């Protein structure tokens, strides 16, 4: 439910004159964030979205073949996602996310080999390490691995981290195979969606420093209690339209008209839009296609970089059982093709089926698997975990083929800034240089920073 009390309070704070406006290309999280922050500065946002839905990759959809609503992919937040939490407070949906007070998750590698892990109220990283020591029989992690990690990360060398892959960093910290399999590799896949041999040590360390190595109160997960569109896109749209912003669905940008050092107009499949200020909040592959269709050669400095980008998929199998699984959740799977299993936020009311999402990050290996092969693989894993066969009544596989860019050391070095060579063109997205991994928090922060970059540049020219 949207907090209308916030609307009434906020209306008194915003200037009435909303003639200054910004065109925002793309209605994903970064575009929605940019629109909401623009409103906060008295600027009217006009969002051009080529699809019928908002939210980008963080959305829900009705799957006709299984006749139910599902999320486009399972998304989990962190209690350390301050920008995301502030956004959810603004749009009135913060209560639709359950933020753990401390990190809690079940770890499983097979039947009779499961633990439920909780952090303890100790200074980090011992709030994590002490419970792992308590479960030494399950983890097999030697005490020296914890000591080595603490010694190497007490005063981290950022320059060194920027050059290292996650695998190289773990070697540097003398981390053994047990702690890699149980902790560091799952975190790398979950946060970076990139294999440890390629993933940026700097980006992973930046993320875990804010959450797992930060205050214990920030170590918990943020688990959706509703479908994603009910948490993000729906409330955000109401907020934006309440304050006079515009959202144009089914409006695909075809060409950019540039004169001199400024964009003059944005040409879409429906009409042309004047462009006093433009924020491109679309994935790099979409921006690259748009630039190729534009007659003026612009953004040459990042075109070559975007052409060389690699992407990693995320596969989510939504599956339904007649009975609930006998596990605690969220469930982190060790030495399994699947990384996590989460229960759906809502049980199907008509059929009373129990729904779950099984997630594989960086899922290239399974690109050529058939639907039957994947569901048989899942059924086999469930049997290994519980010791029983589970009839999968129905399922839907959702694969986001370009879920994130490959967050490696090359990507870290070349991420573009929010400002561009075009005076009134700015970039937003989880792939822009936020200093954070390409996560929900990175996308939300990028929208805010793009608006701030626009304000800085515009204040010099006096146009806002």
Residue 318 sits in the same domain as residue 350: yes
Q: What pLDDT is stored for residue 362 in this prediction? A: 96
Residue 319 sits in the same domain as residue 381: yes
The CA dihedral of 134, 140, 143, 145, to the nearest 10 degrees, is -130
CATH (domain of 325): 3.90.660.20
Q: Mean pLDDT for each consecutive 10-residue tract of the chain (464 residues)?
A: 37 46 97 97 96 95 92 93 97 96 91 88 88 91 94 89 97 96 94 97 93 82 95 98 96 91 92 93 94 79 89 97 93 95 82 92 95 96 92 96 95 94 95 96 98 83 42
CB-count burial class (<10 Å; 0-12, 13-18, 19+) for 372? exposed
Give the position of tokens 């006093």. Answer: 276
Residue 52 sits in the same domain as residue 164: no
CA angle 460, 463, 464 (to 5 degrees): 95
CATH (domain of 435): 3.50.50.60
Residue 266 sits in the same domain as residue 351: no
Q: What pLDDT is stored for residue 2 in this prediction? A: 35
d(CA 449, CA 152): 32
Among residues 218, 250, 266, the one where a domain terminates is 218
Among residues 168, 184, 218, the one where a domain terminates is 218
Q: What pLDDT is stored for residue 11 in this prediction? A: 38
Residue 323 sits in the same domain as residue 253: no
Residue 246 sits in the same domain as residue 115: no
d(CA 443, CA 63): 26
Plot region of 187 (φ>0 → left; ψ -120 to 50 → alpha; else → beta):
alpha
Residue 435 sits in the same domain as residue 353: no
Cβ neighbours of residue 290 closer than 8 Å, sequence gap 6 or more = 253, 254, 255, 256, 280, 282
Residue 397 sits in the same domain as residue 315: yes
Q: What pLDDT is stored for residue 312 in this prediction? A: 97
Residue from 107, 100, 98, 310 nearest 193 by CA: 310
Instruction: Give the range of the structural domain holding residue 156, as residue numbers without chain letter.
Output: 120-218
Residue 298 sits in the same domain as residue 422: yes
Among residues 387, 405, 423, the one where a domain terminates is 405
Q: What pLDDT is stored for residue 207 in this prediction? A: 93
d(CA 142, CA 378): 32
Residue 140 sits in the same domain as residue 212: yes
d(CA 394, CA 30): 33
Give the position of tokens 């981390």. Answer: 175
d(CA 398, CA 4): 35
Q: What pLDDT is stored for residue 454 in this prediction? A: 95
Q: What pLDDT is stored for residue 348 in this prediction? A: 67
Q: Cα-flanking dihedrals φ and ψ of residue 268, to 5°?
A: -115, 180
User: Which contiguous run of DSSP H or E holds residue 315?
Assistant: strand 311-321
Residue 189 sits in the same domain as residue 246: no
Residue 366 sits in the same domain as residue 326: yes
Q: Cα-flanking dihedrals φ and ψ of residue 22, to 5°?
A: -130, 135
> Is the pTM for the entire model greater than 0.95?
no
**How many domains would you assign to the chain?**
3
Q: What pLDDT is stored for residue 253 in this prediction? A: 95
């Amino acid at each position: 439910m949207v907090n209308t009390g916030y609307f009434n309070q906020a209306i008194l704070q915003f200037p009435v004159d909303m003639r200054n406006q910004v065109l925002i290309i793309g209605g994903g999280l970064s575009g929605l964030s940019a629109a909401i922050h623009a409103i906060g500065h008295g600027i009217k946002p006009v969002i051009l979205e080529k699809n019928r839905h908002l939210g980008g990759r963080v959305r829900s959809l009705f799957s006709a073949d299984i006749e139910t609503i599902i999320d486009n992919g399972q998304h989990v937040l962190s209690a350390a996602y301050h920008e995301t939490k502030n956004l959810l407070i603004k749009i009135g949906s913060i209560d639709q996310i359950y933020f753990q007070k401390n990190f809690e998750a079940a770890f499983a590698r097979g039947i009779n080999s499961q633990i439920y892990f909780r952090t303890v109220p100790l200074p980090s990283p011992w709030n994590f390490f002490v419970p792992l020591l308590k479960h030494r029989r399950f983890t097999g992690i030697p005490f020296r691995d914890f000591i080595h990690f603490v010694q190497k990360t007490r005063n981290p060398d950022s320059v060194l981290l920027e050059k290292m892959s996650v695998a190289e960093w773990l070697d540097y910290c003398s981390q053994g195979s047990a702690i890699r399999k149980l902790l560091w590799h799952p975190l790398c896949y979950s946060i970076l969606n990139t294999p440890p041999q390629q993933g940026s040590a700097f980006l992973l360390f930046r993320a875990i420093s804010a959450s797992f190595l930060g205050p214990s109160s920030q170590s918990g997960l943020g688990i959706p209690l509703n479908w994603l569109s009910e948490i993000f896109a729906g409330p955000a749209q109401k907020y934006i339209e309440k304050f006079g912003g515009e959202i144009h669905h089914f409006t695909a940008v075809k060409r950019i008209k540039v004169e001199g050092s400024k964009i003059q107009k944005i040409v879409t499949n429906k009409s042309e839009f004047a462009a006093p200020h433009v924020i491109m909040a679309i994935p790099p592959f979409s921006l690259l296609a748009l630039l190729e269709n534009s007659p003026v050669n612009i953004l040459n400095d990042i075109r070559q970089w975007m052409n060389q980008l690699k992407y990693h998929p995320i596969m989510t199998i939504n599956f339904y059982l007649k009975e609930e699984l006998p596990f605690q959740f969220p469930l982190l799977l060790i030495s399994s093709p699947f990384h996590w299993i989460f229960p759906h936020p809502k049980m199907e009311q008509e059929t009373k089926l129990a729904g779950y999402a099984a997630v594989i990050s960086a899922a290239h290996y399974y690109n050529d698997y058939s639907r039957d092969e994947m569901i048989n693989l899942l059924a086999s894993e469930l049997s290994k975990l519980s010791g029983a066969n589970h009839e999968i009544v129905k399922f839907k596989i959702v694969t986001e083929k370009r879920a994130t860019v490959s967050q490696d050391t090359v990507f870290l070095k070349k991420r573009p800034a929010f400002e561009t060579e075009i005076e009134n063109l700015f970039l937003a997205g989880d792939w822009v240089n936020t200093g954070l991994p390409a996560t929900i928090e990175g996308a939300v922060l990028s929208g805010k920073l793009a608006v701030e970059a626009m304000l800085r540049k515009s204040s010099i020219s006096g146009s806002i």
